[in-house]
Chain A
Amino acid sequence: AAGVIQSPRHLIKEKRETATLKCYPIPRHDTVYWYQQGPGQDPQFLISFYEKMQSDKGSIPDRFSAQQFSDYHSELNMSSLELGDSALYFCASSSKSGLVRSDTQYFGPGTRLTVL
Chain B
Amino acid sequence: KQEVTQIPAALSVPEGENLVLNCSFTDSAIYNLQWFRQDPGKGLTSLLLIQSSQREQTSGRLNASLDKSSGRSTLYIAASQPGDSATYLCAVRRGFGNEKLTFGTGTRLTIIP
Contact = CB atoms under 8 A, between A and B. Distances in A.
Q: At the interface, is chain A mostly helix, strand, loop or mixed? A: strand
Given A42-B103, A58-B100, A105 B43 contact: no
Contacts of A104: 34, 46, 49
Which of B34, B36, B99 counts the most A-chain CB atoms under 10 A from its CB? B99
B102 interface: yes
A27 B28 CA distance: 33
Contact of A45 (B31, B42, B45, B101): B101
Interface string A21-50: 000000000010101000001111100101
Interface of A: 31, 33, 35, 41-45, 48, 50, 55-56, 58, 88, 90, 92, 103-110, 112
Interface in B73-113: 89, 91, 93, 97-106
19 contacts: A33-B99, A35-B101, A41-B105, A42-B103, A42-B106, A43-B89, A43-B101, A45-B99, A50-B99, A56-B97, A105-B46, A107-B36, A107-B44, A107-B45, A109-B42, A109-B43, A110-B42, A110-B43, A112-B41
Given A103-B32, A107-B36, A90 B99 contact: no
A33 B101 CA distance: 10
Contacts of A42: 89, 103-106
A45 B102 contact: yes
Given A90-B43, A107-B36, A109-B43, A43 B103 contact: yes
Nearest to B31: A103
Contact of A31 (B31, B99, B100, B105): B99
